[in-house]
Chains A and B, each alone.
Chain A
Amino acid sequence: MQRYFKGLAGVLLASLCAGTWAGEYSLTVDPVTIDTGDFRKQGIGYNGASPGPILRFREGEDVTIHVTNNLDEPTSVHWHGLILPFQMDGVPGLSYPGIAPGETFTYRFAIKQSGTYWFHSHSGFQEPDGAYGAIIIEPQGREPFRYDRDYVVQLTDKHPHSGDRIMRNLKSSADYYNRQQQTVGDFWRDSRERGLAATLKDRLMWGDMRMMSSDIEDVQGFTGLINGKGPEQNWSGLFQPGERVRLRLINSSAMTYFDVRLPGLKMTVVQADGNNVQPVTVDELRIGVAETYDVIVQPKEDRAYTLFAESMGRSGFARGTLAPREGMQGEIPELRPAPLLTMADMGMAHAGMEHGEMAGMDHGSMNHGDMAGMDHGSMNHGQAAAMPADPFYAQGSGLIPQAYNDGRFLSYADLRAQKPLYEERAPTREIELRLTGNMERYIWSINGIKESDAEPIRLQYGERVRFKFVNETMMTHPMHLHGMWSILDVGAGQWNPVKHVISVAPGTTVYMETEVDAPGKWAFHCHLSYHAAAGMFRTVIVEGGPQGGDS
């Protein structure tokens, strides 16, 4: 704690000498007890708590961060989404050896960006066990939007089991945590509604593939937390009616996508993954694991508004409150029914896919040409039925989100960069990455190869690489490239949004481009903790460029 105050003092000191920002910060990595309101468990935190402190940096600042490991195992801290020299990136085995028990490692890097980010351990399952915190970076210039209050809303999925135990259970039995499987009762209900023959055919089709339509969340049974507080503990943010409140949504979950809403309020999305976007107003949004979205809400009534974040598979939720006074709470909505995957999520062109609803669908030809031609701006989100398909979900997918009030649900296709970060230019080459896996064995891979058997991806400094993600699995994967920006192709050319995590839904193909401007060794992986650990991970080596990679 004392160290942290010293860090704060450093910031204050630095801010006095205008021009040369230099802040010194200290973090300790500590064993902590985590109390979710539902259960207590031993975990790992920073400066004695999980989540750790909110680190506040300024764009242009030279930061020095001392990280002391008080655990009896090695640790590491990765600054998620920050552009920095690879030796400072905090991935053991790639950036550095990690931080041994009792040791202090000092990170030094320049802050070249602004926005909302987060930090977490990249060692073992320390991050699911609690080792994460938020980062807020003040911009040098003015922000293109106004707000009166500013809250970090850090979402997590805290599980009573340790990360190691979860991984072991998944390896023993991949459906260990799936308690939403279809039962005999579901069979009879579906038979009544759709007919016995159709239901039987559906079940046989899934059974033939040995896959489950309910396989949306690998790890259920968690308690959703907001800033470390469970639904019962009700994290609250205060406002004066009429004020504009900036919510910095960060999904620090190990495994859980959240659908976030504040019933009665519209959210104006102003930032995605730390980068300003052209404001888009929605009723609900889906935040993938490791993504951040900054939204502005303007509660006008003198009442409590519930911040409700339902997991994508509807197996759990996080809840908090925005209220004019302490201790107030709003109504907590019920979880909506769990979605089920469809054959479209299998990405087929499958032989057995003569399913009525799916007829006429052709994923092979779902190319980018169509998408670019789509006028997203004029999309009428009021008419759900007539709405053009979301290009980031397979047509007929069971995962297509729908806003709670039939209003507008944020799509990747809605995102436009506020200001292009790079000059638009043609990619020098395309790299195809098929997201692959074997659910039964709980093996996850890229192009059919686990990290432990794979060759690194080699990029040349100065390239602009186009990555093609083809999701051949039935799960959604949030793909995270360290060290360089991921420019998501939404068909908007230079206005394509700049992100650090690209979520790829089942049965879809998604493109992103990267300006290869950071020499060194970088990690590139699915941000679902147990997918990364099971092999959906690649080392990226950027060759050439400035010596030492410290530019």
Chain B
Amino acid sequence: MKRLMIPLLLASASAGAEQMRHSMHHGYFYGVRVDALEYRHGDSGEELGYWSADAWWGTDELKARWLSEAEYSFDHDSWETLDNRLALQTPISDFIDLRGGLRFDTPDGENRQYAFVGLTGLLPYWLEMDSNVYLSEHGDVSVDLALEYELLLTNRLHLTPELELDAALSDDEAVGVGRGLSSLEAGLRLSYDLVDRAIAPYVGVHYERAFGRTADYVAEKGEEREGWFAVAGLRLMF
């Protein structure tokens, strides 16, 4: 077999190899997920708009995230809650991430800024978990815990129960949070994956209840301590 003469025009190729690796991909990814974009109709007739969204960019090791959650009252034309967080997130085990950053609460009413740190990820038995500790600019400490489970009725029709608990170590009357277990939210949503997993409309029910001091603050404002809502909305992912 004849030997080939190979031009050395590639001499530089190997030099850069270590940096370039195999150039299969750059290692950075992004994602946008709107878990809820919904309309809420309360048992006493109030109407609310609600969203919960999450945009991220980064690598397997470190992600920057913008998390946003808001509740808008159509009756009062006001933001009941408007909560934006900027966070960094890194894995600490196969299934759990450590997340920390700043939270900016800017509803109509008193604003608050918090530093927060939390754990998020997948617990055994497919429970999605998100739990955080917050330190407010005034030194108040509070915690929350959210759990979610996706039950597959079919591979496109999903029933998703979720539960969120909030508690505080001290009173922060200005923002209506009292010491102890402050509030509970529970939801049950039935969704259908209409276009891939990108667009999934849903309907469901949502329940909110305030406890203890927090409930007193709610009552002082002339609002209900607990409420049921019928909800309809969209889950988006792109």
Tell me the A residues contacting B by CB distance below 8 Å. 20, 60, 62, 74, 85, 87-88, 91-98, 108-110, 112, 122-125, 167-169, 171-173, 176, 179-185, 204, 207-210, 438, 440-441, 443, 450-452, 521, 523, 525, 532-533, 537, 539, 548, 550-551
Report the bound CA distance from A293 to B177 in whole Å: 69
Among the stretches B17-25, B106-114, B167-175, the one at the interface with A is B17-25
Return the 7 tightest CB-CB contacts between A and B, nearest first. A93-B20, A207-B125, A172-B31, A96-B13, A183-B152, A533-B24, A179-B155
Report the bound CA distance from A532 to B2 in whole Å: 35
Among the stretches B4-12, B43-51, B140-148, B178-186, the one at the interface with A is B4-12
Residue B74, interface by CB 8 Å: no
Do residues A92 and B22 form an inter-chain contact, with CB atoms below 8 A? yes
Question: What residues on B are CB-neighbors of A539 within 8 Å?
Answer: 17, 21-22
Give the contacting residue for A173; candidates B5, B153, B237; CB below 8 A: B237
Do residues B151 and A184 form an inter-chain contact, with CB atoms below 8 A? yes
Do residues A521 and B94 form an inter-chain contact, with CB atoms below 8 A? no
Give A179's nearest chain B residue, CB to CB.
B155
Question: What residues on A are CB-neighbors of B139 within 8 Å?
Answer: none
Near A by CB (< 8 A), chain B positions 45-61 give: 60
Chain B contact surface mostly: loop
Nearest-Cβ distance from residue A363 to partner chain B, whole angstroms: 22
Nearest-Cβ distance from residue B114 to partner chain A, whole angstroms: 27
The total of interchain contacts (Cβ-Cβ below 8 angstroms) comes to 129
Beyond the given A172-B33, A210-B95, A438-B94, could you list 12 further A-B residue pairs with CB under 8 A, ordered by the A residue number?
A93-B21, A95-B13, A112-B1, A173-B237, A176-B196, A179-B155, A184-B151, A204-B125, A207-B126, A210-B126, A537-B22, A550-B4
Report the bound CA distance from A450 to B30 in whole Å: 19
Question: What residues on A are CB-neighbors of B12 within 8 Å?
Answer: 97
Do residues A87 and B6 form an inter-chain contact, with CB atoms below 8 A? yes
Q: List 7 A-B contacts (CB under 8 A).
A: A93-B20, A97-B16, A171-B29, A172-B237, A452-B27, A532-B24, A550-B4
Give A442's nearest chain B residue, CB to CB.
B60
Report the bound CA distance from A438 to B95 in whole Å: 9
Do residues B16 and A210 form an inter-chain contact, with CB atoms below 8 A? no
Give A204's nearest chain B residue, CB to CB.
B125
Report the bound CA distance from A364 to B41 in whole Å: 59
Nearest-Cβ distance from residue A350 to partner chain B, whole angstroms: 14
Give the contacting residue for A93; candidates B22, B60, B94, B126; CB below 8 A: B22
Do residues B125 and A441 form an inter-chain contact, with CB atoms below 8 A? no
Question: What residues on A are CB-neighbors of B19 within 8 Å?
Answer: 93
Nearest-Cβ distance from residue B59 to partner chain A, whole angstroms: 9
Report the bound CA distance from A537 to B10 in whole Å: 23
Q: What 1/0 flags go to B113-138 for Cβ under 8 Å of A?
A: 00000000010111000000000000
Do residues B155 and A94 form an inter-chain contact, with CB atoms below 8 A? no
Give B157's nearest chain A residue, CB to CB.
A183
Give A167's nearest chain B residue, CB to CB.
B25
Report the bound CA distance from A429 to B3 in whole Å: 31
Give B22's nearest chain A residue, CB to CB.
A93
Report the bound CA distance from A416 to B22 in whole Å: 34
Do residues B94 and A440 form an inter-chain contact, with CB atoms below 8 A? yes
Do residues B29 and A122 form an inter-chain contact, with CB atoms below 8 A? no
Give the contacting residue for B125; candidates A123, A172, A208; CB below 8 A: A208
Report the bound CA distance from A96 to B6 in whole Å: 13
Question: What residues on A are CB-neighbors of B7 within 8 Å?
Answer: 108
